[in-house]
Every structure is written in structure tokens, then in C-alpha cells.
């Protein structure tokens, strides 16, 4: 049995779901995790987590922001700063957050810390919008 667990500091989105495959957005590209994968621990980038339930042909999806992933012989555990299922996303709100962050980022003389925060906000909004398409 190979399971997926997806949690944030605020909630559990997926708990011990039997899966045949999981794709996670790693910092150096997407990682495809299958049963029997070598144990690993890695950091994750904002993006779409895709998972295929045991015996299914289509993929379920969740939008995640930065976090960590642990793979062991029994499954994969994802701890993300934030994560949302498609049913939880307000597309209008995500579009607004994306535009506001982009507009603010274009302003001159913003501190580096603010620039980093805005870039992360844009990446999160992009992942949320990608999930809605």
C-alpha cells in the first residue's frame, strides 16, 4: 500500500489516500513519485500537486505553495505552507491577488524583502489559477 498525505499548518486536505502515482512541484522541476520510489526528502515550489488514486486513470489535483515532501516505502507526505483543492479556490480572488502583486512589483524602489514576498504571492496565485484551468 502506497499512500498520500497532504497537510498545511491549518488543515489536512488528504490523509492516507491510496495512490498509484504522485507528481509534486520540486524546486528543480516536477518529481514523479511511484510506489517503490527511493526514500527522499525535498523542498517544494508553488505549483500543482497531481495524484492518481489507486486503480484510477485520471488525476486529482491540489494547488500548493512552498513546503516539504517526504517519500518512504509506504507513501508520500507533503507539508505545504498553503494548499487548496479546486473546489476551495475563488478564481476572481486569485486573479485579483495576482494582478495586485504584479502591479506592486512593477513599482520602483521597493525593498528586497517586499519584492521576494510579492514574487511568492504571484507564484501562489499562478498555481491557483492553473488549477482552475
Q: Give the DSSP letter string of 49-71.
A: EEEEETT-SS-EEEEE-SEEEEE
Residue 80 and residue 17 share a domain = yes
Residue 106 and residue 55 share a domain = no
Domain of 71, in residue numbers: 3-84
Number of domains in the chain: 2
pTM above the 0.75 mark? yes
Which region, left, alpha or beta, applies to residue 47 given φ > 0 means left and ψ of -120 to 50 means alpha?
Answer: left
Q: Do residues 81 and 66 make contact, with C-beta atoms less than 8 angstroms apart?
A: yes
For position 115, what pLDDT does the model report?
Answer: 80
Domain stop point among 50, 67, 84: 84
Q: What is the CATH number of the domain that holds 19?
A: 2.60.15.10
Helices (H), 18-108: 91-105
Q: What is the pLDDT of residues 85-111, one digit of tens each?
A: 988 888 888 888 888 888 877 776 778
More confident residue, 94 or 48: 48
Residue 65 and residue 124 share a domain = no
Q: How far is residue 133's CA from residue 131's CA, in Å, rounded to a whole number? A: 6
For position 125, what pLDDT does the model report?
Answer: 83
Can you read off the three cell numbers belonging to residue 35? 510506489
Residue 108 and residue 93 share a domain = yes
Residue 105 and residue 123 share a domain = yes
For position 25, what pLDDT does the model report?
Answer: 94
Q: How far is residue 123's CA from residue 81's CA, in Å, rounded to a whole number? A: 13
Residue 98 and residue 48 share a domain = no
Amino acid at each position: 500500500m502506497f499512500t498520500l498525505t497532504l497537510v498545511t499548518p491549518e488543515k489536512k486536505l488528504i490523509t492516507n489516500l491510496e495512490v498509484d502515482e504522485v507528481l509534486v512541484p520540486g524546486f528543480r522541476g516536477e518529481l514523479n513519485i511511484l510506489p517503490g520510489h527511493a526514500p527522499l526528502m525535498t523542498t517544494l515550489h508553488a505549483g500543482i500537486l497531481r495524484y492518481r488514486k489507486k486503480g484510477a486513470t485520471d488525476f486529482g489535483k491540489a494547488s500548493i505553495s512552498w513546503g516539504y515532501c517526504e517519500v518512504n516505502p509506504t507513501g508520500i507526505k507533503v507539508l505545504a505552507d498553503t494548499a487548496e483543492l479546486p473546489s476551495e479556490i475563488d478564481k476572481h480572488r486569485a486573479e485579483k491577488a495576482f494582478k495586485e502583486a504584479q502591479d506592486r512589483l512593477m513599482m520602483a524602489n521597493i525593498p528586497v524583502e517586499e519584492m521576494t514576498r510579492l514574487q511568492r504571492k504571484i507564484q501562489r496565485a499562478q498555481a491557483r489559477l492553473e488549477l482552475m484551468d
